[in-house]
Structure 1
Amino acid sequence: MLRRPLLSWFMGLSVLTFGCSVIVEKDVKGKGLGVQCNTSSECHVGSCDDGVCVASCDGNGDCPASTKCFAGKCQKPLNVSALWVGVVSGGEGWTLTHQEGVTAAKERLPYINYKFQESVISDLDITNAVEKAVNEEKADVILLNSYSQRAKMLELAKKHEKVKFLNCQGYQAQKPNVAAYAAHEEQAWWVAGVVAAQRAQNKIGYIGSFITPEVVRHISAFLLGARSVKPQITLEVAWIGFWSDWKPTRTYNYNGPLALNKSGGDSVYREELLTYRLIDDGAEVIAHGADNQRSVRLIETLYKSGRLKDANGQPRVYSVSNDNRNAYKELDANGLPNGAPLQTCLGSPFWNWTPMYVSMFSEIHRGTWQPVNRNDPMTNDPAQSVPGFNLNPTAQGIDDSVVRKYVNEISTRGWQFVFNGPYPTNGQRDSNVDGVVDSKDKQSFDAGEQMSEDEYKSMCWFPQGVYERKDPTKGAGDPGYSLVQARVPDAQRIQTDPSFINDLEGPPEVPASAVADCTLNK
């Protein structure tokens, strides 16, 4: 074990003193600590560990300047700052999964120093958060977990060229010091559709969040997975207009037949309002793309209150949770989904960011990182796969071995199999991504057709079979209520459908055009 003498030996080897003269030793060879290596013989001192020169230590005092002692090894620290679009505690979903991924990566890579900020939404938020990360936290790496942060991030990345920016779901964010990362979660949503079809006979629902190609892909995959089991199933979509209802209190009112408060109705978040709407319209299983599990917990509450029990005491409506592998569970005392399984939730498509964060941080630390955009597929190994599906083990009548078979099938066949035809689309398809909708005779997705990466990134169309309320505020029994084939929101809809636009909920700092136009968000 090399202790404090390492530092004095290291300095003495490179500098010899004689009287008042200083003689620089010109024969010192090898790479210094923290420098990329292939073998230990290349390192000036210590050994080559995971592609980096390191030396043993008991504390920081044993290490040369610019390195510290991490897990018994002198290494250069990697300062990582995360600027999360959502919140960690109470979010239960997307942002929590990223926090868990970085925390787990830090346990495996002890040289990481980690800081994070929450609710980084507006351009001003992003600017202030980046400046704090660079100037106060001395960040080497900045993480942002939403495409909606991309434009401002790219602007700031030019100013801070020595910092590496990693943008989740940023796709076309590649620059010399910027890269995007994502994974094919539509594979997990296809499996979720298969599971939903074990409970739904005719209709499933989906609460869409921010209107993006990613969310459109998840909705479509959910329907196509269900239809692989029951071809007659349809899906009704309802939109939040952002990743969640961003307001701190409930500002909506539901006064329909399922209201818990019969005198005046229920005060609800938007996710809860849309859950009520979909139940009223006959959805038997409801999934969502929000950064929380509000819809899932409402369905459980309605079931326990007796409002969603059938004649045999079983749930009339089930949910599919989102993002977190344990999102089908009750919350514990810390507000995390680690309690008992919910009775009405079938399971959860989830993100396991740990292997990707370990890979990216290790590459940056070893000096091998390249600014390439990653989009990892689902694999058969749940520990190494970023996307996955976790079945609620208490879901009666659904065999985990059968679900595992579907996971293996979609992992083996690849993400493109999710969109396997034949089926007609809703008429919005732009297969060559030239900004012009394909002609009517090219609107079907053919059997054996392979979706291109470009179309994947810009998918702003649905398979036929996705419906929505013509006027989102009018329910069954109201004058003017009807369900129509859903149109993925775009510039045309902004101009021609004010009832839809006015019903959306986006933060005031995010313009309506960004909230409601899928084609802007690719």
Structure 2
Amino acid sequence: MNLKPGLALVASLTLSAGVMAEDPMKVGFVYVGPIGDHGWSYQHDQGRLAVEQHFGDKVETTYVENVNEGADAERTIRRLAQAGNDVIFTTSFGFMNPTARVAEQFPDITFLHATGYKRAENLGTYLSVTYEGRYATGVAAGMVTETNTLGYIASFPIPEVIRDINAVYLGAKEVNPDIDLKVVWVNTWFDPAKEADAASALMDQGVDVIVQHTDSPAPLMAAEKRGKWGVGQASDMRKFGGDAHLLSVVNDWAPYYVNTVQSVMDGTWESQDYWGGISDDVIQIVGISERLSEEQRAKVDSVIDAIDSGEFHPFTGPLKDQTGTLRVPEGVRMTNDELASMNWYVEGITATLPQ
């Protein structure tokens, strides 16, 4: 395991006061993929760096990257707890059960788990409302597609991914009633070769806009080679896509991480399920292509503004599932609890959900 302390421990004697300065708060982070310079883990690490910058020598941060979900994760999280970290952030859905088990063993440590649902007195959950960015993505994709066929490279069939697929389709359907959405499941968060193959397979089926729920820029690069459109995932990926880059949906974790560490320092932290979106700047839509017409750009901007203000919620009824069953009545907005357990495609998506 490769532990990389982000800030050296500072313990300085304050001679004028004759007392030792307080030890820094130790904050640990566990990443499912490599940090690199893009993607999900990279953005979480940017949040860690923001914590260092904000608090200076009041904190000492440590991260572990490329942690496999399962037994490896539990060992890593426990090691961070045994090393004296006061706060531990675990940043992948598959870390949920390992985090919960370790949190039970270390009740005096504060644990935060990204995208999960299990909580305890010392264990909170947090996620970014990516479906807001996905809906805006769908609107943009629905306007630029020439084949009326979009493609989605999906990681794992968990509620977060399913609702994002639905959001892309609903956004595209708003501006293009003839839209079709094809889905390929790759069962990985980060595998450039597998992601590139999935993108090629989708484009072979007539897809001309690739959306992804995986972390490498390989799908965007594949789209660029074939003169199609692609969408950046988690971080600003425009440098990888050239003319293919439609937009990127960026996760900015800095505000959440800084505020959470501050609340633990202050003794005011309480376990909760945090959802951060466009209105919190946790979700940002960047690098919108200049190839869009003024009218198309204005439409995308209006959707982003409506979500930001709370005027519009992407999952507002009436919504039916694939069987035609009404799931959300007209005018009703889905609750976070309902969204957190979404296991169905909206009406109009012809793809099949893995069992």
Q: Answer yes or no: same fold by TM over 0.5.
A: yes
Of 388, 391, 402, which residue of structure 1 is paired with 2:287?
Answer: 391
Q: Any idea what the Cα deviations from partners look like across 1:405-435, whole Å, max 9, x if unmatched?
A: 22111122367x20234453213xxxxxxxx
Higher relative contact order (CA 8 A, sep 6+): 2
**Inter-partner Cα distance in structure 2 for 1:222 and 1:297:** 20
Of 213, 231, 240, which residue of structure 2 is paired with 1:320?
Answer: 231
SS of structure 2 residue aligned to 1:181: strand
**Inter-partner Cα distance in structure 2 for 1:208 and 1:231:** 23
Of 281, 284, 296, which residue of structure 1 is paired with 2:205?
Answer: 281
- Tell me by how many angstroms 1:454 deviates: 2.4
**Inter-partner Cα distance in structure 2 for 1:233 and 1:98:** 34
Say if 2:13 and 2:20, in contact at 8 Å, map to a contact too. no
Q: Any idea what the Cα deviations from partners look like across 1:212-231, whole Å, max 9, x if unmatched?
A: 10001111101111111112
Of 65, 79, 87, which residue of structure 1 is paired with 2:34?
Answer: 87
**Inter-partner Cα distance in structure 1 for 2:19 and 2:162:** 47
Q: Report the CA distance shift for 1:289/1:345 in structure 2 as closer, same or farther (over 3 A).
A: same
Q: Report the CA distance shift for 1:406/1:167 in structure 2 as closer, same or farther (over 3 A).
A: same
The amino acid of 1:489's aligned partner reads P
- Tell me by how many angstroms 1:375 deviates: 1.2
Q: Report the CA distance shift for 1:61/1:182 in structure 2 as closer, same or farther (over 3 A).
A: same
The amino acid of 2:214's aligned partner reads A
The amino acid of 1:329's aligned partner reads K
Of 124, 128, 133, which residue of structure 2 is paired with 1:183?
Answer: 128
Report the counterpart of residue 304 of structure 2 in structure 1.
407
Q: Any idea what the Cα deviations from partners look like across 1:179-207, whole Å, max 9, x if unmatched?
A: 00112111111111111122114111111
Q: Report the CA distance shift for 1:133/1:286 in structure 2 as closer, same or farther (over 3 A).
A: same
Q: Report the CA distance shift for 1:200/1:164 in structure 2 as closer, same or farther (over 3 A).
A: same
Q: Report the CA distance shift for 1:131/1:59 in structure 2 as closer, same or farther (over 3 A).
A: closer
The amino acid of 1:128's aligned partner reads R
- Tell me by how many angstroms 1:119 deviates: 1.5
Q: Report the CA distance shift for 1:426/1:156 in structure 2 as closer, same or farther (over 3 A).
A: same
**Inter-partner Cα distance in structure 2 for 1:80 and 1:357:** 10
Q: Report the CA distance shift for 1:154/1:393 in structure 2 as closer, same or farther (over 3 A).
A: same
Of 461, 478, 489, which residue of structure 1 is paired with 2:354?
Answer: 489
Report the counterpart of residue 25 of structure 2 in structure 1.
78
How many residue pairs were aligned?
342
Q: Any idea what the Cα deviations from partners look like across 1:96-123, whole Å, max 9, x if unmatched?
A: 1100111112211221211100121243
**Inter-partner Cα distance in structure 2 for 1:276 and 1:393:** 22
Report the counterpart of residue 420 of structure 1 in structure 2.
316
- Tell me by how many angstroms 1:129 deviates: 1.2
Q: Does 1:115 align with 2:62?
A: yes
- Tell me by how many angstroms 1:130 deviates: 2.1
Q: Report the CA distance shift for 1:391/1:165 in structure 2 as closer, same or farther (over 3 A).
A: same
Higher Rg: 1
Q: Report the CA distance shift for 1:343/1:487 in structure 2 as closer, same or farther (over 3 A).
A: same
Percent of aligned pairs sharing the same letter: 24
Say if 1:186 and 1:221, in contact at 8 Å, map to a contact too. yes
Matches within 5 A, 1:254-269: 269=193
Report the counterpart of residue 354 of structure 1 in structure 2.
254
**Inter-partner Cα distance in structure 2 for 1:342 and 1:66:** 57
Q: Does 1:133 align with 2:85?
A: no
TM (norm. structure 2) is 0.89
Matches within 5 A, 1:129-278: 129-136=76-83, 138-170=84-116, 172-201=117-146, 202-245=148-191, 269-278=193-202
Q: Report the CA distance shift for 1:122/1:193 in structure 2 as closer, same or farther (over 3 A).
A: closer
Q: Report the CA distance shift for 1:207/1:155 in structure 2 as closer, same or farther (over 3 A).
A: same
SS of structure 1 residue aligned to 2:233: coil
The amino acid of 1:318's aligned partner reads W
**Inter-partner Cα distance in structure 2 for 1:65 and 1:449:** 62
TM (norm. structure 1) is 0.62
- Tell me by how many angstroms 1:168 deviates: 0.6
SS of structure 1 residue aligned to 2:331: coil
**Inter-partner Cα distance in structure 2 for 1:163 and 1:414:** 39
**Inter-partner Cα distance in structure 2 for 1:59 and 1:114:** 15
Structure showing the higher helix proportion among its residues: 2
Q: Any idea what the Cα deviations from partners look like across 1:260-285, whole Å, max 9, x if unmatched?
A: xxxxxxxx811111111110111121
Report the counterpart of residue 239 of structure 2 in structure 1.
329
Say if 1:426 and 1:486, in contact at 8 Å, map to a contact too. no
Root-mean-square deviation (Å)? 2.3
- Tell me by how many angstroms 1:175 deviates: 0.5
- Tell me by how many angstroms 1:286 deviates: 0.9
SS of structure 1 residue aligned to 2:309: helix
Say if 1:208 and 1:289, in contact at 8 Å, map to a contact too. yes
- Tell me by how many angstroms 1:453 deviates: 2.7
Report the counterpart of residue 263 of structure 1 in structure 2.
none
**Inter-partner Cα distance in structure 1 for 2:343 and 2:94:** 17
The amino acid of 1:274's aligned partner reads A
The amino acid of 2:157's aligned partner reads I
The amino acid of 1:281's aligned partner reads Q
Report the counterpart of residue 341 of structure 2 in structure 1.
458
Report the counterpart of residue 299 of structure 1 in structure 2.
223
Q: Report the CA distance shift for 1:423/1:163 in structure 2 as closer, same or farther (over 3 A).
A: closer
Matches within 5 A, 1:409-448: 409-413=306-310, 417-427=313-323, 442-443=325-326, 445-448=328-331
**Inter-partner Cα distance in structure 2 for 1:357 and 1:65:** 33
Q: Report the CA distance shift for 1:232/1:420 in structure 2 as closer, same or farther (over 3 A).
A: farther
Say if 1:185 and 1:388, in contact at 8 Å, map to a contact too. no
